[in-house]
Amino acid sequence: MKIAIASDHGGFRLKEEVAGLLSEFGIEYKDFGTFSEAAVDYPDLALIVAEAVCAGDFDRGILCCGTGIGVSIAANKVPGIRAALCHDTFSARAAREHNCANILTLGQRVIGAGLARDIVTTWLEAEFQGGRHASRIEKIKAIEQKYNRCSR
Ligand code: RB5
């Protein structure tokens, strides 16, 4: 599995924590920045990761900002992206099993590093269950197509 990660300044330290966790797990990843706590705009970083996942260069992405909300909203504008903001492990599991979320978003100002590590671990290990959930994903794709957006 190849993972793309990025954050704005508000999620920088949490993104570093996520990078460390992926290294511990031996999971291949690319860090698209930001690389300091100097202010940057979260849509710019979210777009890079969302396009990389949409293009198929990476299997999944993880985005961090202060709340996880901004990067989630921005990433979900990219066709084929299903970004899920998860601040508990139940949601992280469901985001994969039910929603086939291909990007996980996290808020550094909302949760601590320990919980974030559990959420990332849960999300990485869970798999899409298909079945009745697959037709719902197809309906999401149909919404994209309705608005003339290509869909993966
Ligand atoms: C940056 O101050 C902050 O607005 C950003 O990290 C994020 O929380 C936006 O949703």
What is the Å distance from ligand 1's center to 9 Cα?
8
> Does domain 2-146 sit in CATH 3.40.1400.10?
yes
User: Which residue pairs from 50-53 have beta carbons closer than 8 angstroms and sit at least 24 positions apart in sequence?
Assistant: 50/74, 50/75, 50/77, 50/78, 50/81, 50/83, 50/103, 51/78, 52/4, 53/4, 53/80, 53/81, 53/102, 53/103
Predicted TM-score (pTM) of this structure: 0.96
Taking the CA of residue 9 as reference, the ligand 1 atom at the shortest distance is 6
Residue nearest to atom 2 of ligand 1 (CA): 10
Task: Note the pLDDT tens digit of each residue in 35-76.
Answer: 999 999 999 999 999 999 999 999 999 999 999 999 999 999
Q: Write down the domain spans for the chain.
A: 2-146
Query: How many angstroms is it from 13 CA to the middle of ligand 1?
Result: 13
- The mean per-residue pLDDT over the stretch 99-104 comes to 98
Portion of the chain with pLDDT greater than 90, in percent:
96
**Closest Cα to atom 5, ligand 1: which residue?**
66
